[in-house]
Amino acid sequence: MSHPQIVKVPLEGRAYDIVIGAGLIARAGAEIAARRKGLRVAVVTDETVAGLHLQPLLASLGEAGIDASPLVLPAGEKTKRFEELIRVCDHILESRLERGDAVVALGGGVIGDLSGFAAGIVRRGMRFIQVPTSLLAQVDSSVGGKTGINTAHGKNLIGVFHQPDLVLADTDVLDTLSKREFRAGYAEMAKYGLIDKPDFFEWLERNWQAVFAGGPERAQAIAISCQAKADVVIADERESGARALLNLGHTFGHALEAATGYDSRRLVHGEGVAIGMVLAYEFSARMNLASPDDAHRVSRHLRAVGLPTRLSDIEGGLPTTDMLMDHIGQDKKVQRGALTFILTRGIGASFIADDVPPSEVFRFLEEKRAS
Amino acid sequence: MSHPQIVKVPLEGRAYDIVIGAGLIARAGAEIAARRKGLRVAVVTDETVAGLHLQPLLASLGEAGIDASPLVLPAGEKTKRFEELIRVCDHILESRLERGDAVVALGGGVIGDLSGFAAGIVRRGMRFIQVPTSLLAQVDSSVGGKTGINTAHGKNLIGVFHQPDLVLADTDVLDTLSKREFRAGYAEMAKYGLIDKPDFFEWLERNWQAVFAGGPERAQAIAISCQAKADVVIADERESGARALLNLGHTFGHALEAATGYDSRRLVHGEGVAIGMVLAYEFSARMNLASPDDAHRVSRHLRAVGLPTRLSDIEGGLPTTDMLMDHIGQDKKVQRGALTFILTRGIGASFIADDVPPSEVFRFLEEKRAS
């Protein structure tokens, strides 16, 4: 077994480790016990992940003498809602966990966001440990402390900032993902290059096949992504400024997810982000901020790995542009009147634009759906 | 109109004012507009308070040009639950408030705790303004940032720490309270004396009639109480240490509230705290930590103002001592095995005892209910 990589997130008073490597689920009990003595845990997972990874995790916790009570929820984005949040909270309280005990999220972003929210509100904040099993969760949602659920009004509109105590990213589990899921996580890795790491984007253009195949390039790309996210989070934990850069592709992406009813058969988060990033580059080009060549380069790479890049790549019809604008208007990143978007001046040169006229966005979307 | 008193809570990066005085609801719009420009608000209140104070508040906000959308909930402790939390969140989102906008809580502790929780989780944290209309809320729950709801497992087990941006305590509105409600708030004022302000407790013994009657003593006692609470909160915002002192009387009190099904006809929070404080002093005397004379003095004063001080003051039967212990065991302040109580060495000499044997508490409660 190769030595795991550790990315340290030095948040003041709440520093934590992201451990990245092969076979970590089988070592989870030891990794946790080495950092915290005598805690009990509730393990939250979904039906799909439970079948693959729950027993190995529970066995590992048991070996380390950690008392664990599991809760298995339905798989899918629809689980990120109030009813399931209440179930998780009840499970934690029924297990009589105390403030110093921990909630362990074993799963992808849905399980992480939901369990992290529960950990953030039961007893006004318990310990939280992430064991992300999707690439998306390993490089994005398990790092940074954002938790939340969806409502009829939009995605992630209810939640808290609650930092994990530990993240264990087992790179072996990614072999159980479908190609489509892996690609969706890849979109977020590419995002870090497009925000401010042009060299990383170029490296991905050359090495993406190796990242998909596994091996050292995969772990390296995950570690670079976690470090990139951690750097932004440390600088701006509560998204009052620079952290908004992480939303590159997300304002369009969230609107598309809402417009397709969060139906993962039609569009998953990473795919929405892929299309959203291409739209952000194209819109930047249209506003004469970036070259159309950069938009083409982004689109070409994402398409090469098999990601959707156009509105027309989404199967089934989209609602009217007015309704898309309504979803954009309800996005958390909105400031009254003008819209806030992450736009770009080129590959790795993204910036926060807080004065985007809604009329320009509307016209751009109308054209895009016609093309 | 006399000049209001202002208690400043200098939390780093989130400093806020507690304004205490007569006629503040009629001036709320101006007070808010003077501190924050251009924000919109959702006003959350209950049916009882709405009939008395909602129109004056809305008129005042309107005069200051603040757009406000009101939501009126049922009155009573049962409103502090998930279903009503979801209603408040939906109302905020339907009103399309943004992150910089505010939730205004117009009411007592129930409305404040519930709306503050909603403000803490919608868009992962919005601005929050408290307009407390009960004495309890003015001297306790509106200060310090604790928010939450109850579940079948106990009181306030789900919530977040979310500090207000402003607290407006209108001392005129206390004249609309019943004697019983005023007394319940008075218990929390007396608590500050019993924790670490023996002079204030003595002052209350001499001046309580004036506090009940209104006038300068009332505003003075409220300001001293808010300052006392603010001092503790600044020292320990997230209750990792000294803040636990504020729970004097609360571990017993919460168990009694749970045991009476949060039925306000039988017991309101402040009454539970009053009995709980007397029990804490009596238990301390029994453990040879304090003199029985101090317990008598506390009991005598609380009884003089008309508060309950004994288990037998609660109408209707109590559940078994085993069940009371179970409620104590589910209290947030529990550490595994040994129980944590706030005990005392005398008037104004309370301390955190984290090694209280459950068997001693059990025997003490058995005796008390027999007496």
| pLDDT one-digit tens code per residue, B82-91 | 999 999 999 9
Q: Which of A39-53, B207-221, B270-284 has the lowest mean pLDDT?
A: B207-221
Tell whether A335 is within 8 A of chain B (Cβ): yes
pLDDT at B321: 93
pLDDT at B108: 94
For B99, which of A121, A148, A332 is closest by C-beta distance? A332
Are the beta carbons of B195 and B245 closer than 8 angstroms? Answer: yes
Mean of pLDDT over chain B: 93
Are the beta carbons of B196 and B159 closer than 8 angstroms? Answer: no
In angstroms, the CA B257 to CA B271 distance is 9
Six token digits for residue A61: 């916790």
Q: Do B125 and A238 touch (CB under 8 A)?
A: yes
Residue B111, pLDDT above cutoff 70: yes
DSSP B241: S
pLDDT in tens, A176-217: 999 999 999 999 999 999 999 999 999 999 999 999 998 889
Which residue in chain A is spatially nearest to B155 when comparing CA positions? Answer: A123
- Region B84-111: mean pLDDT is 96
- Region A242-255: mean pLDDT is 92
Six token digits for residue B264: 């306000």
Answer yes or no: A188 catalytic. Answer: yes
In angstroms, the CA B289 to CA A44 distance is 44
Are the beta carbons of B256 and B279 closer than 8 angstroms? Answer: no
Are the beta carbons of A249 and A280 closer than 8 angstroms? Answer: yes
- Region B205-225: mean pLDDT is 93
Spatial CA neighbour of A194 closest among A313, A299, A312: A299
Q: Are strands B339-344 and B350-356 parallel, antiparallel or unpaired?
A: antiparallel
In angstroms, the CA A162 to CA A145 distance is 5
Answer yes or no: A124 catalytic. Answer: yes
pLDDT at B12: 81
pLDDT at B2: 62
For B89, which of A89, A158, A335 is closest by C-beta distance? A158
Are the beta carbons of A73 and A46 closer than 8 angstroms? Answer: yes
Tell whether A94 is within 8 A of chain B (Cβ): yes
Q: Which of A330-334, B119-123, B158-162, B200-204 has the lowest mean pLDDT?
A: A330-334
Contacts of B238 in chain A (CB under 8 A): 124-125
Tell me if residue B356 falls in helix, strand or coil.
strand
Interface test with A, best of B41, B122, B124 (most A CBs within 10 A): B124
Give residue A243's identity as a one-letter amino acid code.
R
Are the beta carbons of B276 and B256 closer than 8 angstroms? Answer: yes
Q: Are strands B5-9 and A16-21 parallel, antiparallel or unpaired?
A: unpaired
Q: For the CA atoms of A258, A263, A269, A273, what is the dihedral angle to 10 degrees? A: -60
- Region A112-123: mean pLDDT is 98
Kindly indicate the confidence band of residue A3, based on its pLDDT and cuts at 50, 70 and 90. confident
| Cβ burial A88-124 (10 Å sphere, 16+ → b, else e) | bbbbbbebebebebbbbbbbbbbbbbbbbbbbbbbbb
Interface of A with B in 138-167 (CB under 8 A): 146, 148, 151-154, 157-161
Are the beta carbons of B243 and B226 closer than 8 angstroms? Answer: no
Helix A179-196 / helix A269-286 crossing angle, nearest 10 deg = 30
For B332, which of A94, A123, A151 is closest by C-beta distance? A123
Strands (E), B235-290: none
Q: Which domains does chain B have, with CATH numbers?
A: 5-175 (3.40.50.1970), 180-370 (1.20.1090.10)
The 3-class secondary structure across chain A, one letter per residue, is: CCCCEEEEECCCCCCEEEEEECCCHHHHHHHHHHHCCCCCEEEEEEHHHHHHHHHHHHHHHHHCCCCEEEEEECCCHHHCCHHHHHHHHHHHHHCCCCCCCEEEEEECHHHHHHHHHHHHHECCCCEEEEEECCHHHHHHHCCCCECCEEECCEEEEECCECCCCEEEEEHHHHHHCCHHHHHHHHHHHHHHHHHHCHHHHHHHHHHHHHHHHCCHHHHHHHHHHHHHHHHHHHHCCCCCCHHHHHHCCHHHHHHHHHHCCCCCCCCCHHHHHHHHHHHHHHHHHHCCCCCHHHHHHHHHHHHHCCCCCCHHHCCCCCCCHHHHHHHHHCCCCCCCCCEEEEEECCCCCEEEEEEECHHHHHHHHHHHHHC
Measure the CA angle with vertex B113, ends A14 and B331; round to 5°.
65
A110 a known binding residue? Answer: yes
Calculate how close chain A gets to B275, using CA atoms only, in Å: 24
Which residue in chain B is spatially nearest to A154 when comparing CA positions? Answer: B93
Six token digits for residue B309: 């001080």
A67 a known binding residue? Answer: no
Percent with pLDDT over 70 in chain A: 98
Q: Which of A190-194, A235-239, B321-325 has the lowest mean pLDDT?
A: A235-239
Answer yes or no: B35 catalytic. Answer: no
Mean of pLDDT over chain A: 93
Residue B360, pLDDT above cutoff 80: yes
Q: Tokens 């001592």 map to which residue?
A: B321
Calculate how close chain B gets to A236, using CA atoms only, in Å: 14
In angstroms, the CA A112 to CA A107 distance is 7
Tell whether B93 is within 8 A of chain A (Cβ): yes
Spatial CA neighbour of B148 closest among A19, A93, A302, A18: A93
In angstroms, the CA B109 to CA A54 distance is 42
Q: Do A332 and B123 touch (CB under 8 A)?
A: yes
Calculate how close chain B gets to A214, using CA atoms only, in Å: 36
Which parts of B are annotated binding residues for Zn(2+)?
A: 188, 250, 269
Residue A334, pLDDT above cutoff 80: no
Residue B203, pLDDT above cutoff 60: yes
Residue B324, pLDDT above cutoff 50: yes
Answer yes or no: B146 catalytic. Answer: yes
Answer yes or no: A98 catalytic. Answer: no
pLDDT at B1: 47
For the four alpha carbons of A230, A170, A204 and A268, in that order, the dihedral sign comes to negative
Residue A14, pLDDT above cutoff 90: no
Answer yes or no: A53 catalytic. Answer: no
pLDDT at B236: 80
Tell whether B335 is within 8 A of chain A (Cβ): yes
Contacts of A82 in chain B (CB under 8 A): 82, 86
Residue A335, pLDDT above cutoff 80: no
Tell me if residue A53 falls in helix, strand or coil.
helix
pLDDT at A206: 97
Residue B32, pLDDT above cutoff 90: yes
pLDDT at A1: 47
Calculate how close chain B gets to A344, using CA atoms only, in Å: 25
Interface of A with B in 226-255 (CB under 8 A): 238-239
pLDDT at B331: 54
- Region A85-107: mean pLDDT is 96
Tell whether B120 is within 8 A of chain A (Cβ): yes
Residue B332, pLDDT above cutoff 80: no
In angstroms, the CA B191 to CA B245 distance is 10
For A159, which of B38, B121, B157 is closest by C-beta distance? B121
Residue A174, pLDDT above cutoff 80: yes
CB-based contacts of A283-286 (< 8 A; 24+ apart in sequence): A283/A341, A283/A343, A283/A361, A283/A364, A284/A343, A284/A344, A284/A345, A286/A364
Q: Tokens 């006809």 map to which residue?
A: B265
Calculate how close chain A gets to B101, using CA atoms only, in Å: 10
Residue A337, pLDDT above cutoff 80: no
- Which of these is catalytic: A31, A84, A181, A188? A188
Q: Tokens 């300052």 map to which residue?
A: B227
Percent with pLDDT over 90 in chain B: 79
DSSP A161: B
pLDDT at B330: 60
Tell me if residue A137 falls in helix, strand or coil.
helix
Spatial CA neighbour of A221 closest among A199, A237, A253: A199
- Which of these is catalytic: A250, A297, A327, A368? A250
In angstroms, the CA B261 to CA B319 distance is 10
Q: Do B158 and A122 touch (CB under 8 A)?
A: yes
In angstroms, the CA A104 to CA A25 distance is 12
Answer yes or no: B266 catalytic. Answer: no
Contacts of A89 in chain B (CB under 8 A): 151, 158
Q: Do A93 and B125 touch (CB under 8 A)?
A: no
Q: Are strands A127-132 and A102-107 parallel, antiparallel or unpaired?
A: parallel
In angstroms, the CA A298 to CA A24 distance is 33
Q: Tokens 């049916």 map to which residue?
A: B47
